[in-house]
Structure 1
Amino acid sequence: MQVSLLQCQSSRKPDENLAFIQQQLEQLPRQAGEPQLVVLPECALLFGGHEGEQLAWSATDAPLNLTEALAALARQYQVYLVGGTVPAASGDGRVYSRSILFDDQGGIVGSYDKLHLFDVDVSDNTGSYRESDTFCGGDHLSVLPTPFGQLGLTVCYDLRFADLFRALRLQGAELIVVPAAFTKVTGAAHWEVLLRARAIESQCYILAAGQWGAHNQGGRETWGQSMIIDPWGRIVAQQASGIGWVQAPIDLSLVAKVRQDMPVCQHNRFAAPQLQPLQRK
């Protein structure tokens, strides 16, 4: 069974982003009949834009229904697809940053709304990020059944919260996806070390699909370095820069062996993490 991460350089134009993803799927290296899990990065169909744009593209009468477009890709290319993130109306004038898992017939297996919002200051051209102005945090965890194993869903900034990854492991996750748009500054400092730490701690495969490069006339620059990391913390495959596929087979027997040889879940003397309600604005 193969996992394929697509590193993108998405823009504010969903039709162009969709065309790029479809072009890449046409060229996806795969064996005939081989099950395929494809992971897109955060904001794969819509990168950037002010609050009004995010709300407009979450509406049912948007020029392109982003969820239906992703479902059609999964169905056409017969892949399990983690569709990065799409804006989904929250009902309070903002949107959820929603990651959806589609099966190879285009059906929705389940979804996850990004829990942790990126309200931080970074020493780059943007300077200050306030996701909570546009987005609201989710209220549930997602571990979903797939032919590749039990799949836990996270998004980007979630990577910094080890309790989430532990909670996903305790709910049965064997693989955890991290669709992301890490800034170039924070990516250079922390991306690889955080991903490898989360793999080692959770004893899961970590599948991190990233945005890369300068977006929207240089208004924002992302780190890239999409990576597949095994449950021992080894980098199985990665792409530091540029766009394209990062691929590797998945071996669930390795997950079982690592957990048997080093049973950290049984040894852990701390209480299991509990998701706290979000204080709404």
Structure 2
Amino acid sequence: MTTAQKRSDVPHAALIQMTSGIDPQRNLATIEEALGEAAAQGAAMAFLPEMSVLLDRDRERSSHHISLESGEAWLRAMQDFARRHGIWLHTGSKPLLASDGRRRLNRSHVIAADGSLRAHYDKIHMFDVDLPTGEKWVESAAFLGGEQICVVDTPLGRLGLSICFDVRFPELYRRLVEEGAELLAVPAAFTVPTGEAHWHILLRARAIETGCHILATAQEGQHEDGRATYGHSIAINPWGSILMEIEGGESDEKDYRLALVPIDPVATKKARTAIPLSRSRAARNITL
């Protein structure tokens, strides 16, 4: 794991890589420990992976833990963690019961350092695929796709929200930039074959074409529900260069891996000035 050199003149993001399991309380304990470490190291905001509190593809077993947001204790717990440690938090995502009482939502929240909720986003694009390895995933059978994009002000800048499979849809990120996004969150639980083939390429492409920082925190390793995820949480600058990557390898005593990365507020302006895509689009007056 590589940790970026800390500097006092720019805010730092903390990426927290996890191997979440089927016990929400254990996952929450891991999150609280990681947030405490991130805050102690001076991070302004921490980012968790997709399904940080519960990663379980057994729908019957996981149903005992899932409720409407109004009755959900996980969110209140994470608000308390943020307030206690004085750090902003992007929750990665969590499964919630949709209003129809049948399907679920894959929802991210942004929580301020005072514990207040600042934004939420429901994953729009569902992971419905048949992979060459024989793996088949039909996320839409259990999850309801979101319909609204979301951009929110944070200590790191104006943050655009997305989740995992969304990264394959560049039109979403263009919309986020049009709404003022300067950096983009991409929490994920990529499979190993798709991660090995596409993870770095897709994320660097999104950074280059938007002129945004990318903060992509991932699930890693073998999970209790039987799946394996790729890991390689990564931060990329608006020029497409990798600032930091959390490699895999032998686990240590902790149930997470953490790395800090500086977010230079000038980098977005430099990248967009050097290659002014918005100006070129306006000059051509073409709507795609």
**Residue 259 of structure 2 corresponds to which residue in structure 1?**
246
- The answer as to 2:55 corresponding to 1:47 is yes
Q: Could you report, residue by residue, the CA deviation over 1:92-120 in whole angstroms, capped at 9, with x for unpaired residues?
A: 21111000000001110010000000011
Runs of 5+ unmatched residues, structure 2:
1-10, 250-255
- The answer as to 2:119 corresponding to 1:106 is no
**Residue 277 of structure 1 corresponds to which residue in structure 2?**
none
Runs of 5+ unmatched residues, structure 1:
274-281
Relative contact order, higher structure (CA 8 A, sep 6+): 2
Do the aligned partners of 1:204 and 1:255 also contact (CA within 8 Å) in 2?
Answer: yes
Corresponding residue to 1:38 among 46, 58, 62: 46
TM-score with structure 2 setting the length: 0.87
Do the aligned partners of 2:161 and 2:186 also contact (CA within 8 Å) in 1?
Answer: yes
C-alpha displacement at 1:54, in angstroms?
Answer: 4.8
Correspondence list, 1:5-16, <5 A? 5-16=15-26
Do the aligned partners of 1:39 and 1:84 also contact (CA within 8 Å) in 2?
Answer: yes
**Residue 12 of structure 2 corresponds to which residue in structure 1?**
2
Corresponding residue to 2:277 among 264, 267, 270: 264
**Which stretch has the larger CA shift, 155-164 or 56-65?**
56-65
Aligned with 1:27: secondary structure? helix
Aligned with 1:28: secondary structure? helix
Kindly provide the amino acid, as one letter, of the partner of residue 242 in structure 2: I
Corresponding residue to 1:72 among 77, 80, 83: 80
C-alpha displacement at 1:55, in angstroms?
Answer: 4.4
C-alpha displacement at 1:252, in angstroms?
Answer: 1.1
Q: Distance in 1 between matches of 2:132 and 2:85?
A: 40
Q: Could you report, residue by residue, the CA deviation over 1:104-159 in whole angstroms, capped at 9, with x for unpaired residues?
A: 0111001000000001112457x111111110000100000112110000000000
Kindly provide the amino acid, as one letter, of the partner of residue 2 in structure 1: H
TM-score with structure 1 setting the length: 0.90
Kindly provide the amino acid, as one letter, of the partner of residue 20 in structure 1: T
Do the aligned partners of 2:22 and 2:62 also contact (CA within 8 Å) in 1?
Answer: no
Do the aligned partners of 1:56 and 1:62 also contact (CA within 8 Å) in 2?
Answer: no
**Residue 162 of structure 1 corresponds to which residue in structure 2?**
170
Corresponding residue to 2:229 among 222, 230, 239: 222
Q: Given the superposition, is the C-alpha separation of residues 247 and 58 from structure 1 closer, same or farther in structure 2, using an over 3 Å criterion?
A: same
Do the aligned partners of 2:39 and 2:86 also contact (CA within 8 Å) in 1?
Answer: no
RMSD after superposition: 2.1
Aligned with 1:191: secondary structure? helix
- The answer as to 2:99 corresponding to 1:91 is yes
Q: Distance in 2 between matches of 1:111 and 1:47?
A: 19
**Which stretch has the larger CA shift, 65-74 or 262-271?**
262-271
The count of corresponding residues between Structure 1 and Structure 2 is 269
Aligned with 2:205: secondary structure? helix
Do the aligned partners of 2:39 and 2:87 also contact (CA within 8 Å) in 1?
Answer: no
C-alpha displacement at 1:39, in angstroms?
Answer: 0.4
**Residue 128 of structure 2 corresponds to which residue in structure 1?**
119
Corresponding residue to 2:199 among 191, 196, 210: 191
Q: Distance in 2 between matches of 1:208 and 1:53?
A: 28
Do the aligned partners of 1:57 and 1:65 also contact (CA within 8 Å) in 2?
Answer: no
Q: Given the superposition, is the C-alpha separation of residues 86 and 94 from structure 1 closer, same or farther in structure 2, using an over 3 Å criterion?
A: same
